[in-house]
Amino acid sequence: MLVKSHPLGAAGLLPLRTVSATVASFPQLAAARTPRVEASLRRYVDRLPDGCPEQLREAIAYSLLAPGKRLRPLLALMAAEACGSDSDEAAVPAACAVEMVHCYSLVHDDLPAMDDDDLRRGRPTCHKVYGDGLAILVGDALLTLAFDVLAHDVRPASAAVACCRELARAAGAGQLVGGQADDLAGVDAANDLESLKSIHRRKTGAMFLASLRLGAICAGANEDQHRALEDYGAALGLAFQISDDLLDVEGNEAALGKRVGKDAGRGKLTYPGLLGIEESRQWAVALVDEACTALAGLGQRAASLEALARYVLERDR
Amino acid sequence: MLVKSHPLGAAGLLPLRTVSATVASFPQLAAARTPRVEASLRRYVDRLPDGCPEQLREAIAYSLLAPGKRLRPLLALMAAEACGSDSDEAAVPAACAVEMVHCYSLVHDDLPAMDDDDLRRGRPTCHKVYGDGLAILVGDALLTLAFDVLAHDVRPASAAVACCRELARAAGAGQLVGGQADDLAGVDAANDLESLKSIHRRKTGAMFLASLRLGAICAGANEDQHRALEDYGAALGLAFQISDDLLDVEGNEAALGKRVGKDAGRGKLTYPGLLGIEESRQWAVALVDEACTALAGLGQRAASLEALARYVLERDR
């Protein structure tokens, strides 16, 4: 099992990387789960209806099946486990749906009219390969497919509707799309921490939370479990974004698979830019501890979610 | 009541515009229903969550609340009536959802990377006013909102899931998005009727059918009713597209609210271009008769759907 949080950790003073030797590392935990997700994603692409033009299918596969961390699917699967799901399979459609939405948002955000990025997951971005028009359609198709998957493959109907509701909220104008719109409009130019947190809460945090909630819904979670995951997800989302900003400053482009220094280069507000590298790092550590503390009531079944949170501080991509 | 189809009509020889004086005209039937749809669409925009930036909300309102024919919402409402819906309100969320998907597809299709249109519903297109980036996000938000509305406001859960499933199929890679991808790739350059029909079946027909099916689901329709609406919708969708092409050749730009002659000017394949104006017109007449014949089993409650089909031949926009 995972050792208890170091007492100093909660104050954000020390990084906590002490996972006991008897427990699998996060990369091992992930490796035990992602092949199922990859296989399902591939199956969804293979099963696109006949009316889907071959080039569109190819562009969807190019974007969706590119090597990714699959963090959101893992959150869904691990949340289902943490809530005592009795089936390993129940949350797989939800895991695929959140990855489809994440992937659609990357494809659209990378467009020249948005962030104008050339590199994603170590490959040329979708529009660089297939053109802007088809890239817009790839995003549209993936967003639609996410709801298709939930409506077809989550059981019972009440859980499927709840999943559609959560995903639509997290992906909608008030969250994912709204955060990107503010980002696009340069709202963070206000140069304050609250604007930055508000954009990230919507752009990253909301989909982290939705991933956890969808997993929990598929496991038939109770209210206490939902609440614990919400606290976990809120802290984790912010920690992840801070670590993303740190990687953008310090990271290795080859490992990341995308350009580094691009946010700073564009004059975009980042946590290290606002708080300094060291304070940002300490805050991320404190947030990860906060996330892990929130899991306490879920017991040993939440060990993989704890490992995932700790990994946020260690990752190089 | 509507008079029976003229015997020659089925052969596509005569236009049928003979609606008896005791029945309201289609514009009257529409005017009795669209205010409810307009009010609901406006309410959905007003209720976008706090996280939605003001400019995004404004751009969504600009696109969604622009004066439109609201044909798809009318199909949903009238299908629910035809299937004996005991509540006038049950199908309104579904009617709004199909309009949101239609509107999103117009906003994205109008982008410079796609059809590059400047005029829509008599106004500058969304990207002309708000920029390409925000227009992409408006489309993304509307597509997501459609599923949000279905998942929140259609009852019971089994009907909500069925609606999400139908909408996702019609809007997905095999239908709406797939048809647009083929259109974008210039697949109709093959210059044959089958390619043209295949694109239109996916771009227009699928959402017509989905509108009818969503209305029918909200009314708790039985299988016979679903089948009748499917036959009606298939014929209607094709008739509508032919009449659209005819309007593009012969129509009045001011009435249409979009450019005329643009398809022919781009060398795009059209029905009049392929079959000639007169044969296209006759085919549309025959299809409308076919659509009305399919309604026979639904009885008098389907009178407004019949009036809608007849109107396709008379409209000037």
A240: number of CA atoms within 13 Å, CB side? 24
Q: For residue A168, give the nearest of B52, B144, B185 by CB distance.
A: B144
Percentage with pLDDT > 90 across chain B? 75
Cβ contact, residue pair A168, B177, below 8 Å: no
The runs of H, that is alpha helices, within chain B are 26-31, 34-46, 54-64, 71-82, 92-109, 126-130, 132-153, 157-171, 176-184, 193-200, 206-218, 223-250, 253-256, 262-265, 271-275, 277-294, 303-311
Q: Pick the residue of B60, B148, B154, B183 with the most A CBs within 10 A to test the interface with A by mutation.
A: B148
Q: Supply the DSSP symbol for A251.
A: -
Determine how many CB atoms are found less than 10 A away from the CB of residue B247. Answer: 17
| Min distance A106 CA to chain B CA atoms (Å) | 12
Q: Which of residues 81-110 of A touch B (CB under 8 A)?
A: 104, 108
* Chain A CB within 8 Å of residue B140 CB: yes
What is the mean pLDDT of the segment spanning B106-125?
Answer: 95
Q: Is B152 on the interface with A (CB under 8 A)?
A: yes
Q: Is the pLDDT of residue B10 over 50?
A: no
B16 pLDDT higher than 50: no
pLDDT attached to residue B262: 62
| Count of all residues that appear for chain B in the document | 317
B164 to A184: CB separation less than 8 angstroms, yes or no:
no
Q: Which of A127-141, A206-220, B129-143, B196-210 has the lowest mean pLDDT?
A: B196-210
pLDDT value, residue A23 = 60
For chain A, say whether B274 makes contact (Cβ under 8 Å). Answer: no
The pLDDT value recorded for residue B21 is: 41
Q: How much is the pLDDT for B279?
A: 96
Chain A, 169 to 228: residues with Cβ < 8 Å from chain B are: 169, 171-175, 177-182, 184-185, 187, 198, 202
Average pLDDT over residues B200-212: 95
Give me the domains of chain A, ranges plus CATH numbers: 24-311 (1.10.600.10)
Instruction: Using only the alpha carbons of chain A, give its radius of gyration.
Output: 19
One-letter amino acid of B40: S
Q: pTM value?
A: 0.91
Distance, CA of B118 to CA of B105 (rounded, Å): 15
Q: Are A175 and B140 in contact (CB under 8 A)?
A: no
Cα–Cα distance, A235 to A210 (Å, whole number) = 14
Walking along chain A (317 residues) 10 residues at a time, the average pLDDT comes out as 35 39 79 96 97 97 95 97 86 98 98 95 95 98 98 97 98 97 79 86 95 98 98 96 90 61 68 93 97 96 96 85
Secondary structure string (H, E, C) spanning A261-291: CHHHHCCCCCHHHHHCHHHHHHHHHHHHHHH
The answer, yes or no, to whether ipTM is higher than 0.95 is: no
Chain-chain contact of B137 with A180 (C-beta, under 8 angstroms)? yes
Task: State whether the Cα torsion B208-B210-B211-B217 is positive or negative.
Answer: positive
Residue B252 pLDDT greater than 80, yes or no: no
Q: Output the pLDDT for position B50.
A: 94
**Contact (Cβ atoms closer than 8 angstroms) between residue A120 and residue A253:** no
Q: A268 with A188: CB under 8 angstroms?
A: yes
Q: Which amino acid is at A162?
A: A
Is B111 part of the contact surface with chain A (CB cutoff 8 Å)? yes
Residue A14 is given by DSSP the state S
Q: Among A8-22, B33-47, B95-109, name the one with the lowest average pLDDT.
A: A8-22
Does A61 contact chain B (CB < 8 Å)?
Answer: no
Q: What is the pLDDT of residue A256?
A: 60
pLDDT of residue A190: 62
B-chain residues near A181 (CB < 8 A): 52-53, 55-56, 134, 137
Cα dihedral A58→A62→A65→A69 (10° resolution): -170
